A and B are shown apart, each in its own frame.
Chain A
């Protein structure tokens, strides 16, 4: 590569109280100590949700803009609740992608918003790398709430939080991730995180829904859900995204369910205390049987609850060090 790029200084070992970057763009940029810091902070934040008055003044006077270029209920609501519990002033903007392509550029949109002096921007965007573009060119702290098929870091963090809460560890667990891998930002963020934390990850999908060179992600690829689920401690089901099935990926959702759907029978191969995760929204009867989704091993609603705590932790940590930098 460029022989004249500045020599990379090895990152300092993160001190236990802060993150190295002022943005959260992806799990790829975090080290294990930073991940632990976020998860530990989230534990403290979770306690706030149990109080009668679920609000602390931590981000009072801070403005957070939730800028969503893709439809999202769960993630946007979760960020909003997290921001409000920290007393931030929040503003949620949903922009239909179609009107943007006709009108102003992403950069212009954000520069206009920045003229109103927000502190943080939570961005959801259909294009991979969109938050990286903003982080390079804008002033605000950028939190990636899902970029294209690249990363969805707060989802992976809340998944890790849920796993750690249930299993008391992440290291050494067998985690099976099953579903539309190629289009999944949840997959990519989770693989980074689980690898950094020492889990063994199996990734299962038909070959049409596997990313190129999947083995280099540090996972064990398989087209057999039985093999993936066998003795698994955690099974993470990914949504089959109808809106992304414009190609020739699967013949039908029925055939997909026959080969890859998570059923009570298939689950019998898993560890006796397996937990089932799903980032939502679920397609019942496509990737997951309702009996599994609503069954005793499912922690899907816990994930949603933990999402708020994890996002509070991220907002708190990034706001805190932004303060220091000023």
Chain B
């Protein structure tokens, strides 16, 4: 079984490749990269001029909701959404029902992913049993069952002592801890970023430093223990500063930001729709200074990864008072157009950096296969169409849930096709 990607520009930063090459796939792996490769009986996929052949994109922060919340998303619909968004691999958070704190659940998730046959799915195990923040889950058993990181995402690891133990123990296993950094007492009953917008709309605020205080704590604990710490969905300028300083010192800290935190601000609480529950997420959309800091961090290397925090919720759950709506939005199918439109076409980052943020670095941070088109690697490939127009229509998303604030947006840039192990799992034709 051979497939030849003919034409197009290959951007493979991990191997220093950026140029017009063909790519031959044999038995699901990259077998050759070169100019004008002979067809030799291979199926041919013509890559259009201007399109980019990149190592498959990897989203290390998604919520697939299965088991337990299948009315929001299933592994089948979530991975369909992933490949439609150009992601060949995703790492799914453990806040399912029950919480993924046990190898049986990790195995179930991976089995369902294989059955779906779309994107690769790597489970992230809970740090603590039930993510209750009390007792460590069996991290070694979870690693053996396929977990690539540990997190109590949705909740912070509130106890500094538990976080210390988790970093020490996971450090032994060579697995990072991903923390949803948020001081619970400063968050309180907050539902939106603490600032003028929330204050004037009468919404309880969550200050940016609720995040950065815990980022600083976790950096200190990481430096104490030597364990790797990854900041989930960073949103506050104070957090960015803490991460930048820590990296200068050589700390083992990495960070991610979501597209909505580098595109939107808390102005979205006011318009176009006041109190739109599809702009309620945690961390909240922050103010312009924070958004601009995220843009700087993406360009200067402080931020390692763009992750979506894909958080599907049923329409009924969002059709309530702002206070009562759940936090989160879907993100898998809007990420690439937003990155192109707001980062690449604005000149903030180049294509190479885009691929680093969406493929090379996510693979590195979680020690995943992928992020490379070297010969012999699995042929997980995303073909990007930088100038294609993408009209976002919530009703047509592959995800089971449609909770996006980007409905109706028209953006420049999109995904042409997605290949997993050499198989075309999505084509935008």
Contacts and interface: CB of A to CB of B under 8 A. Distances in A.
Contacts of B274: 129, 132
Given A213-B196, A247-B188, A188 B316 contact: no
A185 B188 contact: no
A70 to B, nearest CB: 12
A147 B195 CA distance: 19
A22 B321 CA distance: 21
Contacts of A147: 202
A130 interface: yes
Contacts of A128: 201-203, 275, 322-323
Interface string B259-293: 00000100110011111000000000000000000
Given A128-B202, A212-B195, A1 B267 contact: yes
B323 A127 contact: yes
A63 B200 CA distance: 32
A217 to B, nearest CB: 7
Contacts of A4: 408-410
Nearest to B198: A212
B362 interface: no
B108 interface: no
B201 A1 contact: no
A148 interface: yes
A132 to B, nearest CB: 5
B198 to A, nearest CB: 7
Interface in A136-153: 136-137, 147-151
Contacts of B319: 105, 107, 133, 137
B194 interface: yes
B403 to A, nearest CB: 15
Interface of B is mostly: loop
Contacts of A213: 195-196, 199
A211 B199 contact: yes
Interface string B50-75: 00000000000000000000000000
Interface in A195-221: 211-214, 216-217
Given A105-B320, A128-B323, A212 B201 contact: no
Interface residues of A, number: 34
A151 B202 contact: yes
B195 A106 contact: no
B35 interface: no
A149 B203 CA distance: 7
Contacts of B408: 2, 4-5
B111 interface: no
A125 interface: yes
Contacts of A136: 273
Contacts, number: 88
B202 A188 contact: yes
B324 interface: yes
Contacts of B275: 128-129, 132-133
A3 interface: yes
A136 B274 CA distance: 10
Contact of A2 (B195, B196, B201, B272): B272
Nearest to A247: B188
Interface string B314-357: 00100111111000000000000000000000000000000000
A263 to B, nearest CB: 29
B202 A216 contact: no
B205 interface: yes
Greatest chain B CB density within 10 A among A101, A133, A188 is at A133
Contact of A149 (B202, B267, B272, B410): B202
Nearest to B203: A128
B44 to A, nearest CB: 37
Contacts of B207: 212
Greatest chain A CB density within 10 A among B268, B275, B408, B409 is at B275
A105 B198 contact: no
A39 B61 CA distance: 54
Interface string A162-199: 00000000000000000000100100100000000000
Nearest to A134: B321
A188 B204 CA distance: 14
B196 A216 contact: yes
Contacts of B203: 128-129, 148-150
A150 B191 CA distance: 14
Interface string B185-196: 000100000111
29 contacts: A1-B264, A1-B272, A2-B272, A4-B410, A5-B271, A5-B272, A105-B316, A106-B320, A127-B321, A127-B322, A127-B324, A128-B201, A128-B323, A129-B202, A129-B274, A129-B275, A129-B321, A130-B321, A132-B274, A132-B275, A133-B322, A149-B202, A149-B203, A150-B202, A150-B203, A188-B200, A212-B194, A212-B195, A217-B196
Interface of A: 1-5, 101, 105-107, 125-130, 132-133, 136-137, 147-151, 182, 185, 188, 211-214, 216-217, 247
